[in-house]
Homo-oligomer: A and B are copies of this chain.
Amino acid sequence: MKSIRSRFLCLAVLLCGALSVFAATSATVEKWGVFELELKGPEDGNPFVDVRLSAVFTNGATTLEVPGFYDGDGVYRVRFMPSAVGEWRYETKSNRWPLTGKLGSFTATAPSKGNRGPVRVFNTFHFAYADGTPFKQIGTTIYNWLDTPEEVQERTLQTLAAAPFNKARMLITQQPNPYQGKFAPPRWPFAGRPPHAWDFTRFNPDFFRHYELRLAQLRDLGIEADLILFNPYGKWGFETMDAANEERYVRYVVARFAAFRNVWWSLANEFDFLRTKTMADWDRLGALVQACDPYNHLRSIHNGSLLYDHNKPWVTHVSMQNGAAVEESGRAELYRDVWRKPVVYDEVKYEGKSEYRWGNLSGEEMVDRFWCGTVAGTYVGHGDYFFTVSEDTFTSFGGKLTGVSAPRLAFLRKILEDGPPQGLDPIDKWQDPNTAGVPGIYYLTYFGREKPTAWTFQLYKNGVVDGQRYKVEVIDTWAMTITPVDGEFVTRKLDNYHFDANGRSVALPGKAGMAIRVTRLGADGKPVKVELPTD
């Protein structure tokens, strides 16, 4: 076997292209970067269907088989994201001689600044980057920003660079486009033409190369790309794919994109509105994504009106549409217990001035929903649905933000990132839905649409003992102010709670959107450090 492989070894080419997509330009690549192997192979027949290619990568401790893909013009690629520094060796496998048995190696170097690896589920209900840094999800939605004129795409990137969002949801296949007539979608994922004249057995590499350029730009902005594999919006005929075509599509997308550390898989948007698929189809496709992604990126499925069974093992977290559920923290909390996975309310209606009931939140309402979700121990997504003549809406096609919630979401993100690394969990579920935190360490209480004029210092008994010292701050979630309350609060127990030993209350301004942050102080008068759970 060895001798046969060796004959073709000289053909193995390590190439990282002219695109800024790939960090490696030599036989080194940073940890969680993209190593890319380029091979020349057959162009005859239909290489997308006829040729199978993968490579086994190993550093001795970890061994992964990684799918390759055909990139057109006789070029094949295998992309690999190394999860550890040091030497990695690989060997290709294929059903074609020019592509099989290629051996090689490269060195993974330390990650550069801002590269924290892929995001994983952490501490049951939360997220963290692979390097352990907590990921406090503040999402937004830009469904088809890649189907707009280039200048709109560039403007979208500029908007995102200045915005607080660290995750964006986006479609892969197109929805109807307001630029049509003046501007048709520039690239389609398949060979053929719309509507319905597709050859689902042949992909359009140009579409995917463009998509990858944008994925890399999002990555470099610190934005996770929540990629929606299927959607119900097209009138283009993508909904007619049969099971074999669906599988080929999923495998191709995963083979191309999975080495990007900032990829999340969203199996579908409003899956139940896609009437050409059954629940069994979603089960099968979700399990397929799980099976063919060597990196185990986050996976979810997003509902319209019917909920998916998120207990299925392939689902890593809940991606929920339900605006009503985050109108009030007591609602938002309920879904956590059902699935015991992170809950992301990715669609809670959009900030906007739309005729639709799902696109007319005020900025205050949008921010309120983020805070309700936060103190319920869940995460929320943003949308901006102001219809502009030239750009449709930000949430549909990118461009500029019109709404006023974004700075307040930046303020919230800062509070979360200053908070306990393990995430905020309900302190006393079913009794006090307004408070999340870490017992005896940190408490965040949000009063929602209530307009209290005072808050009695009061902590639920778990994790608290008498004589602990706490700092209290008053937060105005809209004005973006954090006002410390003079002095310290010292705990004294009464029944199920600890009050301040001197019976102190905190004055509040009697307006909506207020919060309280309570932080325990150590003997040195500084906030107590939180111990991280091991997950």
Residues of A within 8 A of B (CB): 306-307, 309, 311, 322-325, 327-328, 330-331, 334-335, 337-338, 340, 357, 429-431, 433, 496
Which single member of B330, B340, B431 contacts A331 (CB below 8 Å)?
Answer: B330
The A interface, classified by DSSP as helix, strand, loop or mixed, is loop
Beta-carbon contact of B306 and A309 below 8 Å: no
Q: Which residues of B contact A330 (CB under 8 A)?
A: 324, 327-328, 331
Chain B: minimal CB distance from A447 (Å): 16
Beta-carbon contact of B430 and A337 below 8 Å: no
Q: Which residues of B contact A431 (CB under 8 A)?
A: 324, 357
Chain B: minimal CB distance from A8 (Å): 50
Chain B: minimal CB distance from A214 (Å): 33
Q: Which residues of B contact A323 (CB under 8 A)?
A: 430
Beta-carbon contact of B307 and A337 below 8 Å: yes
The complex places the Cα of A482 from the Cα of B357 at a distance, in Å, of: 33
Q: Known: A330-B327, A331-B331. Is A338-B430 also a contact (CB below 8 A)?
A: no
Which single member of B306, B311, B328, B430 contacts A328 (CB below 8 Å)?
Answer: B328
Closest B residue by C-beta to A306: B337
Q: Which residues of B contact A307 (CB under 8 A)?
A: 337-338
Closest B residue by C-beta to A327: B330
Beta-carbon contact of B324 and A430 below 8 Å: yes
Closest B residue by C-beta to A322: B430
20 A-B pairs within 8 Å (CB atoms) are namely A306-B340, A307-B337, A311-B311, A322-B334, A322-B430, A323-B430, A324-B330, A324-B431, A325-B334, A325-B430, A327-B330, A328-B328, A328-B330, A328-B331, A330-B331, A331-B331, A331-B334, A334-B334, A338-B338, A357-B431
Chain B: minimal CB distance from A278 (Å): 15
Q: Which residues of B contact A340 (CB under 8 A)?
A: 306
- Which 6 residue pairs across A and B have the least CB separation, nearest first? A324-B430, A307-B337, A331-B331, A334-B334, A309-B311, A338-B338
Interface centre among A307, A325, A330, A331 (most CB of B within 10 A): A331
Q: Known: A337-B307, A338-B307. Is A357-B496 also a contact (CB below 8 A)?
A: yes
Beta-carbon contact of A324 and B357 below 8 Å: no
Chain B: minimal CB distance from A294 (Å): 29
Beta-carbon contact of A334 and B337 below 8 Å: no
